[in-house]
Amino acid sequence: MKNRRIFWPLLATLGFVVASTASATEVLVTENISTSVTWTADNVYNLQNQIYVLPGATLTIEAGTLVQSTAGVGGSLTVCRGAKIYVNGEKDKPVIMTSTNDSLTSWHEGANEWGNLTVMGNALISASHYGGEVVGSNTKEPTGLNVRQMEGLVAEFPDDLKVLYGGNDDNDDSGSIRYLSLRYGGKVIGLANELNGLSLGGVGRETDIDHVEIMNNVDDGIEIWGGTVNLKYVSIWNVGDDSLDLDQGWRGKAQFGLIVQGYSADASQGSGVGDNCFETDGAEDSDAQPVTTATIYNYTVIGQPIDGDHGTAWRDNARMQYRNCIFMDLGEQLVKNDNSDGDGGSGYGYNGTLSWEDTWLTEHTYRSTINAGAYSPGSFNDPAVLYTVQTNGKLAEIKDSVFYNNLHGSAYTEANARGVRNAENHNVTATDSPIQSITRGAMVTKGGKKMLPVTNLNPLPANDALASVGSALADGFFESANYRGGFAPDNNWLLGWTAVDAYGMITGSSSIENWGQLN
C-alpha cells in the first residue's frame, strides 16, 4: 500500500477554508464485493478493474471519501440487482469518484479515464428487442420477466446474471446516493458500447438519488433504462453525448437540474462532443409496455449555440412533460421528433399506438392496453399502476418555461406545430437572459464541431425566470417552486460539493487553493 495525503475542505460561512491535513491510505480494490463493507474517508479507494457489488451485499461510502481509478486502467463500480449502495456524501464533504488525472482543483479536457457508477435493480423495463442473455427471450408484455444486459458491461460467461437489470418490482430499493461528484469517466468497451457517467437500469422508486454531478464523460451524463427511480438536484456538464438519456419505459420524476452542453474530448459528437440535452426513447419496440411516461420540473438547460443538437429529442412513443424549465442557447430544435431510435424501433403510431401529433393532444389519463397482456386490477403490470407519475395535463407538453437565444432557423418549427408556444401553455420566448450570467471561452473545434465552452456561470434566475405561473404540486417528492429553471433566487445548490465549484466555474464561489492531492 502507498500513503497519500489529501486536503479536505470544510464549508465555512464565507466560503471554503482548509481545516486540516489528513493522512489517507490508498486501498487497491481488485475483488468483487460479496459481503457488506464500508469505505471510509481516511482511505482512497482505487478501482483496479470492473468491481461488482454482488447480490446480498451492501457498499456504504462515508462522506468525504475519494474513490479513484488509475487513469487508463479502466476501473469501474457496478451495483448488481439485489445489492445496495449508500453514498452518504454531505454538502461540505462530498463523495468524489474520478480518475487519478483529476487534480481536484482545475478542469482539464478528458474522459474515458476510468469507468463509471452503474446501479441495476428489479423494476420493470421494456426491452423486447433484446434476448439471449438468459434462458428465454423478452416480450412486449410487462410480465416482469424482461431483463437486459447493461450497456458497457461484459458478461464473463453465458447467463452471467450479475450484468442484468430488470424485474417486476417498481418499488425496488437499491439504496441511496447523495452528494456525489462523478468526473472524467465513461470507459469505451466497443463501438456504440460506452459507459455513461451514471447508469441506472431497472432501478425502483424506493432508491433515493439527489445532489449528483456528472463532469466530463465520454458518453451520456445520466442514462436511465426503465424503472421508476426519481432524480433531484442533478448537474450534468460537458458530457460527450446526451446529457440526460431516458429509455425502456422510465416512469419517474425529476426536479431541480442543470444541463450545460460542451465537450469532454476531441472526438466525434456522441463520443466526446455533446449531442442532445434530453433524449427520450419510449419503449422497445414502441408498442411495448411499459412506455416512458414521466414529468420533469425546474431544469436549466444551456446548449451549444453553434453546433449543439436538440433541446428535447423524442422517440418510440415517449411521453414527457417538461415544466418550469429554461431552454437557452440551443444549437438546433427545442422539440425534435426523431420518431425511432435507430435500433429497430417502429416509432410513433405503430400498431395502434398514438401518433406523434396525438400524443401532444391526449390527456395524461390515457392508458393503452396494446401489448399489456394479462393482468389483474391493481397488480404490478396493471396500466393504472404502471403510469402514475403524470397527474394532470397532456401526455407530451412543455409548459411554463422560458426560451432564450435559440437562434437556429428551425429552433421552434416543430414546437410551434405542436402548440408549445400557444398562450395557454404560459411559455415565454424571452429577450433578456433568464439567468444571472454566463461566460463562454473562445470558440474551439472538437470532433469537427464548433464549441463555445462555458467557463463561468451564475445559474440563479433572472427576468422571466424569477416567477412562474404555476408550480409542481408538493407530493413528497416534487416541491412547489414558483420560478423557472433549476435554481431558486437565493439557493445556488452547486456550491460546496461540485467539481464546477472546486474548479472555479461558478460565480460567487470561493476559491479552494489547497483542495487537492499531494503525491
Residues 212, 237 share a domain: no
- Give residues with Cβ within 8 angstroms of 99, minimum separation 6: 68, 69, 70, 71, 110, 113, 114, 183, 184, 185
Residues 262, 144 share a domain: no
Domain for residue 119, yes or no? yes
Residues 234, 220 share a domain: no
Cis ω for the linkage preceding 285 (within 30 of 0): yes
Query: What was the pLDDT predicted at 1?
Result: 33
Higher pLDDT, 13 or 29: 29
In the predicted model, what is the mean pLDDT of residues 86-100? 98
Domain for residue 451, yes or no? no
- What percent of the chain has a predicted confidence (pLDDT) above 70? 91
Residues 214, 249 share a domain: no
Domain for residue 441, yes or no? no
User: Considering only 187-196, 256-265, 298-307, 358-367, which range has the smallest mean pLDDT?
Assistant: 187-196
Query: What was the pLDDT predicted at 51?
Result: 98
In the predicted model, what is the mean pLDDT of residues 316-336? 98
Q: Is the pLDDT of residue 514 over 60?
A: no
Residues 269, 179 share a domain: no
Domain for residue 333, yes or no? yes
Cell numbers 462522506 correspond to 63
Count Cβ atoms within 10 A of the Cβ of residue 513 and give its class: 0-12 exposed, 13-18 middle, 19 or more buried: exposed
Residues 63, 47 share a domain: yes
Residues 367, 284 share a domain: yes
C-alpha angle with apex 382: 377 to 388, nearest 5 degrees?
115
Residues 297, 254 share a domain: yes
Domain for residue 6, yes or no? no
Count Cβ atoms within 10 A of the Cβ of residue 1 and give its class: 0-12 exposed, 13-18 middle, 19 or more buried: exposed
Written as nine digits, the cell of 449 is 464541431
Residues 372, 243 share a domain: yes
Provide the sign of the torsion angle of the four alpha carbons 167, 168, 170, 176, taken in this order.
negative
* 154-198 pLDDT, tens digit each: 999 888 999 999 999 999 999 999 999 999 999 877 656 778 999
Residues 218, 234 share a domain: no
Domain for residue 493, yes or no? no
Residues 213, 272 share a domain: no
Given a contact cutoff of 8 angstroms between Cβ atoms, the answer to whether 111 and 195 are in contact is no
Range(s) of the domain holding residue 85:
29-195+208-227
Domain for residue 445, yes or no? no
Domain for residue 202, yes or no? no
> How many folded domains does the chain comprise?
2
Residues 393, 467 share a domain: yes
Given a contact cutoff of 8 angstroms between Cβ atoms, the answer to whether 224 and 200 are in contact is yes
